[in-house]
Amino acid sequence: MLDLKFVRENPEIVKQNIRNKFQDEKLPLVDEMIGLDARNRAAKAEGDELRASRNRLSKQIGQLMAQGKKEEAEAVKAQVTANAERLAQLEADESGYEERITKIMMTIPNIIDPSVPIGRDDSENVEIERFGEPVVPDFEIPYHTDIMKTFDGIDLDAAGRVAGNGFYYLMGDIARLHSAVIAYARDFMIDRGFTYCVPPFMIRSNVVTGVMSFAEMDAMMYKIEGEDLYLIGTSEHSMIGKFIDTITKESELPKTLTSYSPCFRKEKGAHGIEERGVYRIHQFEKQEMIVVCRPEDSPMWYDKLWQNTVDLFRSMDIPVRTLECCSGDLADLKVKSCDVEAWSPRQKKYFEVGSCSNLGDAQARRLRIRVDGENGRYFAHTLNNTVVAPPRMLIAFLENNLQADGTVRIPEVLRPYMGGKSVLVPKTAEK
């Protein structure tokens, strides 16, 4: 959410930013909000004057009554009554103006960073850098669920009967591998100085609207019936929410946290074959990282965050690349964002496994996350990034570590989390 004063003083900058995000339908909102703001400020000024005059008139009534000037006192009383009625109307107007202004401010997108490429959608995202050499082996790589089935590692049919499409049972070595990756990612981030946290898996509506746009909320969040609670779509939501209505001393920044949680998403719409299996699902687990910092430090932390994910994947011998999200692909609260994509030898292309975002002070402004600095209080900057999100990450892991004989190599960094195993052997081979 933008600063109202900034919008008032820079309407053309705000409008151009809307155009850059290809959301021209929102352009009229800027003028509407500026008009509402002017009327609201005028109503406040008149209301303040009426409140001040109420005190003066009340004293005048007492003086007139003391002097026996009853008729004059009654006339002043009538004026007080009229003023009170007018003040009540003004206060109602102010409430209406502020409600509409807040709704518009929650709809107008954040100002994107000048470095963000201008484009309509994710097809115009720009590759930044590749890490590791993509390899296509000389043997056929099966679809990821078919690889898992050779280890008796997945049961989608049973999950469908129990919970419907978009759910899964992971079994045996595949389930253990899933947990091993999460545990390794946790320790990886702790070693990089982040504080480990297990957050609430449900959050209230005021936190939901503080961390994301209305469109995102509708597309992602599951509402708990009869409760003011939503299942989190990512632990970023409750991790940033942890700081709601807080004032942190500048000397205590940055706050760097890494969190584990299950995640729940509606994932509306039909998806192609490459987004089935365990790629796009309603329930998954994730290790996340968030930072709350000074505004001047957020670009530095942004680079550190995505680099953490790249380093994690490279430590497991998985080639990755970073992709700069264009203006039209950025969620409304984001200033800048990049995706980390892993190499798929089967598809011979990269696919998304994580996303890093700098949200500037948008979330902090909505949630009132403030910093007590030497020169006064200000809103913090917030950032988030995926460390790793199995089971999607398992697709990249299995494809890049699959051997010609159907075994799966376990990189050295994961072996302590896999009971010392260096290779997974399919059940068919064991028999």
Residue 37 confidence (pLDDT):
94
Query: In what helix (H) or strand (E) does residue 263 lie, and over which residues does it extend?
Result: strand 255-264
Q: Could you give all domains of the chain from N- to C-terminal order, each with its CATH number?
A: 4-105 (1.10.287.40), 122-430 (3.30.930.10)
Residue 407 confidence (pLDDT):
97
Residue 271 confidence (pLDDT):
53
Cβ burial, residue 162 (10 Å; 0-12/13-18/19+): exposed
DSSP string, 107-144: TSPPPPPTTSPP-SSGGG-EEEEEES-----SSPPPPH
> Model's pTM, two decimal places?
0.90
Quick one: tokens of 30? 């800027």
Query: Which residues are within 8 A (CB) of 266 and not within 5 positions of it... i.e. 6 or more apart?
Result: 219, 220, 221, 222, 282
Q: What is the rounded distance in angstroms from the CA atom of residue 266 to the CA atom of residue 283?
A: 9
Quick one: tokens of 164? 């419907």
Residue 220 confidence (pLDDT):
84
Quick one: tokens of 404? 């010609």
| Number of CB atoms found within 10 A of residue 137's CB | 13
Quick one: tokens of 261? 């949680």
Residues lower than pLDDT 70 in the chain: 268-275, 429-431
If we measure between CA atoms, which residue out of 244, 262, 243, 263 comes closest to residue 253?
243
Query: Which residues are within 8 A (CB) of 249 and not within 5 positions of it... i.e. 6 or more apart?
Result: 371, 372
| Strands 246-249 vs 369-373: parallel, antiparallel or unpaired | parallel
> Three-state secondary structure along 63-114?
HHHHCCCHHHHHHHHHHHHHHHHHHHHHHHHHHHHHHHHHHHHCCCCCCCCC
